[in-house]
Amino acid sequence: MLSLSPQQMDLLAQVARERFVHRVAAYFALQWPAMLERLGDRYGAFIDLAVQHAQKHQLAEGPCVARYVNLWFVWGPAFEDKPGFEWAKDILIDTRRSEFIKPHQLVRRTLDELQRLHAASAGRPHTGLPPTDFEAADARVVADLADLGRLGDVVPSNVQVARLSCDLDAIDIGTIDTAWRHEYRLTDKDWQRVPGPAAAPRLRIDTSQPLPPQRLHVLTHAPGEGPPARLQVKVRALGGCGDHTHPRVAFTGGHGLWEWRGHEATAVSWPVHAAPTLPVPDGLVAGIAHESSPQWHTLQVASCGLRDHGAPLGEVATPVLSYPADQWLLELRHTTKPATCRLERDGIAQDGSAWQRGFARLHDDFKASTDQLLLAFERTSGATAAQLDIEPSLMAGQAGLSWGWREGPQGLVDDPVMRLEGWLDMVACALQLQLSGELSLAGARARLRLRAQGSTPLRTRIRRDSKLPLLPEVLAPTVVKLRYPFELEMDPIVTPDHVALHPTAPATGAIVGEAGLRAKPGNGGVQLFLTLRIEPVATTLAIHDPVLGTSRQARPLLPAMTLLDWSLG
């Protein structure tokens, strides 16, 4: 493979530029023989300077450069810098205009100016260039120099230059066929399905507000899971390229490519689908306020981007993100075993057995942890014949929650928000726990009982239907903290040596925990949760010996341990 050094590439580019300028000079010598005769030996420098000015204005495609050079023969060298030609300067320095638009608009304005000059002559002799002659000359330039190539490029090219105005005047985008949208709303403790928010405001894009949004957002259903929303696009075109190519509306995504051209593209609508609903971890049909990933599509509205006056709108391309519009309702009743659950999506009952299994797991996990608690008590305290008596009530009561995506206040251009509404009327934890056994120490014996008890209600309402405050801030008030300190009782057992054992200070430590609603780690969404932990439990014991006197000994009774870490959602 041939490899060229930077110096060789620069040399080739210089040679290509010289050929470019030479061909332009030769062409215009035939088109404007009077100028060749007038300039004589300065003609080559005149063309070279005109090409330099074209480069300064970011013109490089051969036909674009040539159209600009042609104007030097009409208005004179560097005409854009002369008084009265401010219009030309404005066109050339505008970064919103492409290199194809700049010479096109210079040509159109030149035609207007020539027509104005001819009209102003009002029948008097006029030696200026007739507008029709200039228009014909420009058309020849575009046709004859289409293969001129790009200025300074070694590789030849052939560029098609549009001469007919073809742009977008305005684009109107909105969603239709969304009357099926309903939400669950809470009245006292009763739920009702009511129509969702009013239709999102439509989006208008035109030259006064040309910047398209970073992305559009549509709430809809997955195929087979409910009616879809339809995206509607209306286009008002400015001119046309004459072959029904533009305007062009295209929508791409997992479905492939859908497109409409010409008259068909002026008003078109189509269904937009969301990604299918997938079960979340734990086997649940849907997690509470789980923010599933949107489906990505791309919307394009295109034209040649060529207009006679002003900056063009050209082409608008923006991502379209579709979110599942499903609205969920979950009602729980956990007063007896097993828990009962009602799960609905858009008024249709869903399988709620995974939620029931989640509450069954709560009891199973707690039972397993209490077995470990008894073993830890025996090993840490040294008690024999240890027993555990416990009466638990965990996350008992009723709850109702509803959630689903809702459009942001600005509709299509606004990120949607995951709506969450509901109430909890539960007892987070009600517990009566007693550990007992017999302790022997330095010839002394005693029966000990370690108790902890308490009850913590979990009654709260929650509502979130806007981006702020953030979800963790909304959930924080739903969390309750619990703390049940341990109490120690000891009954001495008489021994032949009359050595006595009794505590000299209250036991330290407690059962602590939290319960309520929290953001789900990792996968997003919200979950019910209950955590219980044991803070280390210890005391100081006094050993009273009639012969040896009294001594004291610090005695651990329970280590720090997790009693329960349960969540569901």
Residue 355 inside a domain? The answer is yes
Do 91 and 25 lie in one domain? The reply is yes
pLDDT at position 157, please?
72
Interval 297-333: pLDDT, tens: 999 999 988 888 888 888 899 999 999 999 999 999 9
Residue 161 inside a domain? The answer is no
**CATH code of the domain in which 262 resides:** 2.70.50
Do 439 and 353 lie in one domain? The reply is yes
Residue found by looking up tokens 């014991």 in the block: 541
Residue 175 inside a domain? The answer is yes
Do 313 and 421 lie in one domain? The reply is no
Q: What is the pTM of this model?
A: 0.81
Do 339 and 390 lie in one domain? The reply is yes
CA–CA distances in Å: residue 76 to residues 47, 384, 533: 12, 112, 89
Quote the Cα angle for 284-289-293, to 5°: 85
Residue 155 inside a domain? The answer is no
Look at residues 260, 293, 325 and tell me which one is the last residue of a structural domain: 325
Do 137 and 208 lie in one domain? The reply is no
Residue 160 inside a domain? The answer is no
pLDDT less than 50: residues of the chain: none
Domain count of the fold of the chain: 3
CA–CA distances in Å: residue 386 to residues 65, 286, 374: 98, 44, 7
Residue 1 inside a domain? The answer is no
pLDDT at position 1, please?
54
Residue 157 inside a domain? The answer is no
Residue 159 inside a domain? The answer is no
pLDDT at position 516, please?
97
Residues in the chain: 569
**Domain of 190?**
166-325
pLDDT at position 122, please?
66
The dihedrals phi and psi of 368, each to the nearest 5 degrees, come to -65, -40
Look at residues 266, 300, 325 and tell me which one is the last residue of a structural domain: 325
Which DSSP string do the residues of 379-428 spell out, in sequence order?
HHH--EEEEEEEEEEEEEEEEEEEEEEE-BTTBTTS--EEEEEEEEEEEE
Q: Can you read off the two tokens belonging to residue 551?
A: 């001594």
Do 273 and 395 lie in one domain? The reply is no
Do 339 and 451 lie in one domain? The reply is yes
Do 301 and 371 lie in one domain? The reply is no
Do 557 and 475 lie in one domain? The reply is yes
Do 232 and 376 lie in one domain? The reply is no
Do 457 and 410 lie in one domain? The reply is yes
Measured between alpha carbons, how far is 250 from 252 in angstroms, rounded to an integer?
A: 7
pLDDT at position 432, please?
97
Interval 108-160: pLDDT, tens: 999 999 998 888 876 565 557 899 999 999 999 999 999 998 988 877 777 77
Look at residues 305, 325, 345 and tell me which one is the last residue of a structural domain: 325
Do 209 and 291 lie in one domain? The reply is yes
